[in-house]
A and B are shown apart, each in its own frame.
Chain A
């Protein structure tokens, strides 16, 4: 196994009185691509959100190490600055905040350096082109009035611009048509291959995985990790479903 990037151990989390995650472990190495699968309501999104530090969930147990640093009590902003990224299943709309100024501010906050406008525009245009998004999107308010597909593309746009070390993709492919999945996969592939970034892909389908080499597959049922394997496990699940893992 390559150098460890993320090590989460024994995570238990709840929302209000309901415990959703039970003693979950996951370790992701540098440059690795992991897939997280499981039936609806298994707690996959919760894990993604807990790793990113969502205040909605209370972590009752466990520890999150990122690049060897303890992130367990840190806010999402600190985690992002350290190199984590979450592509939201339902990205939020922020009227009046343009995509362009948001992405630029985020990049500047992360690096602590001011970014030259020309250089930023150039990078942005390249990323927009890969996703076949019109430049007009950058001028629009963040996700405001975007279709579901546009929102997902905008998430990948941010991923490509922010260049984190670890990207957690929460059902980025759901609700996308075939062409959009292909474009989004292209952006992810670029992140994986050129950036050497690590991925935790939460998904129901395999379409998004076609062009990616999967290192590990995790199966989650009822808030527990029930199985793990290599990329071939994805195909297995596709054939047989989760039945054999259900209690």
Chain B
């Protein structure tokens, strides 16, 4: 007989590194105004932020959970520890970071990434920034890269107040409201007019404690004519308690500015990933998204772009990989309000071992968005007959001269192609992995090399034991 392998679950040991529970303090499991006040106090919020949190909490209690996507019944908000602070203060030097935390990061490759001349690393352990460093050359250009908490008291306090949760208001949905109430940690980036940041800024988020939610907030403002590439990487260890991630990312792209936002999310497979990401683009600006969604039990993720300025542009390149027990609902939204705006959405999804992958796109072209263009292309690959792939495109076009296109393809890995590769001496497992990696190639091409390597490793890892 031909040799076949059967592995029930993939080996995630390199991603599922657990530390002993380091947390000296947590706020109990329910969510009340007292808890939110406590969080606010702990974080030393300015008054406006404390009020904002309490208002968000009211909104949170007034709206119900979404009923249109994958089930999130497994989430019990009353038993989610919303805020856990690690036993370390902000640290500017790597040597000050406690050894066990350092150990976890080292196994995730962060110091290497740092050494490989990435511009700055803000790594988040639980909800607090523990390690933060911006290379001098970037800071010398006037670029601000810091945690959001301390920036609220610095010279950018007004700027933050002006932008914080303006793109994603708490009223938007229940988890945006929750985020507004309990957000903690995250990054603030400001790139002044005309400054081109040559090397990507990077941040690595990580969840650690059982039952802990993570509500980091990322606020990036790229001023007129400036240029930035920001990379967000996520990985979480595996626990049996349901975990929730409800972060928010708000991106402001100025006139003729350009922002590329790359993410590889690799959550453990019990995670509810209900992340909200949104960008607004002014005249002549460009927003580029590169998004890889791996891991998690359930994901709702649809980065949205508002093309407000005339001649602004957006490109979205995404890949989603849903394996056993995963229901990943991902896609992209774009709203064209400026004239001659253009957007291009290109996604790939892979489903395997009964995984469900749903692509949802929403394209709105307003009545003033004359001569705007949009193209959506989504391709799905199903690796077996028990997996599922759906495409749900929505379009709302209010001007007659818009140019809109949609293309969807669903396919399977053909046995003939597998035989073809095998006839050259490649094992069945490798042959399938090569076909799937090839399918994902246009996404990995958009990523910086080390991330492309990581993504291919993830695909390889996910493909292990896929032959039955």
Q: Among B2, B435, B438, point to the contact of A73 (Cβ < 8 A).
A: B2
For this complex, 6 residue pairs linking A to B, each with C-beta atoms less than 8 Å apart, are: A75-B428, A102-B424, A105-B430, A106-B424, A141-B441, A162-B425
- Tell me, rounded to whole Å, the shortest Cβ–Cβ distance linking B434 to chain A: 6
Which residues from B are CB-within-8-Å of A52? 423
Which among A85, A97, A142 has the highest number of chain B CB atoms within 10 Å? A97
Contact A96 B437 (CB under 8 A): yes
A74–B426 alpha-carbon span in the complex (Å): 13
* A238 beta carbon closer than 8 Å to chain B: no
**Which B residues have a C-beta under 8 Å from some C-beta of A?**
1-3, 414-417, 419-428, 430-431, 434-435, 437-442
Which of A76, A85, A95 has most B Cβ within 10 Å? A76
Contact partners of A55 in chain B: CB under 8 A: 415, 419
A88 lies within 8 A of chain B by Cβ? yes
Q: Establish whether residues B419 and A96, one from each chain, have CB atoms under 8 Å apart when the complex forms.
A: no
Residue of B with least CB distance to A141: B438
Beta-carbon nearest neighbor of B420 in chain A: A92
Q: Which residues of A contact B415 (CB under 8 A)?
A: 55-56
> Chain B residues near A56 (CB, 8 Å)?
415-416, 419
A109 lies within 8 A of chain B by Cβ: yes
Residue among B3, B428, B434, B440 with max Cβ neighbours from chain A (10 Å): B434
A109-148 toward B: CB 8 Å interface, digit per residue (1/0)?
1100000000000000000000000000000011000000
A158 at the B interface (CB under 8 A):
yes
Nearest-CB distance from A37 to chain B (Å)? 23
Task: Enumerate the 6 nearest inter-chain pairs by beta-carbon distance, A residue then B residue, closest first.
Answer: A96-B438, A96-B441, A80-B425, A97-B438, A76-B422, A106-B424
Q: Contact at A75–B421, with CB atoms within 8 Å?
A: no
Chain B residues with CB under 8 Å of A75's CB are: 2-3, 422, 427-428
On whether the beta carbons of B434 and A80 are closer than 8 Å, the reply is: no
Q: Label chain B's interface by main secondary structure.
A: helix
Is the beta-carbon distance between B417 and A77 smaller than 8 angstroms? no
Give chain A nearest CB distance to B346 CB in angstroms: 13
Contact present for B424 and A97 (CB under 8 Å): no
Contact yes or no, A77 B1, CB < 8 A = no
- Which secondary structure dominates where chain A touches chain B? mixed
A81 within 8 A of B: yes
A91 within 8 Å of B by Cβ? Answer: yes
Q: Quick check: B414 and A77 within 8 Å, CB to CB?
A: no
Cα separation A106 to B424 with both chains bound (whole Å): 6
- Assess whether A95 is in contact with B438, with CB atoms less than 8 Å apart: yes
Look across to chain A and name the residue whose beta carbon is closest to the beta carbon of B436.
A96
Residues from chain B with a CB closer than 8 A to the CB of A232 are none
Most buried by A among B414, B423, B434, B441: B423
Across the interface, name the chain B residue whose C-beta is closest to A144.
B438
Return chain A residues, CB-CB under 8 Å to B428: 75, 77
B434 near A110: Cβ-Cβ < 8 Å? no
Residues 212-232 (chain A) with a chain B CB within 8 angstroms: none
Contact with B along A43-76 (1 / 0, CB 8 A): 0000000001111100000000000000001111
Distance between Cα atoms of A48 and B428 in the complex (Å): 20
B416 & A92 in contact (Cβ 8 Å cutoff): yes
B304 → chain A closest CB, angstroms: 28
Given contacts A55-B415, A73-B1, A73-B2, contact A94 B430 (CB under 8 A): no
Contact A158 B434 (CB under 8 A): no
Question: Which residues of A sit under 8 angstroms from B427, Cβ to Cβ?
Answer: 75, 77, 109
Kindly state the separation between the CA atoms of A25 and B91 in the bound complex, as whole angstroms. 76
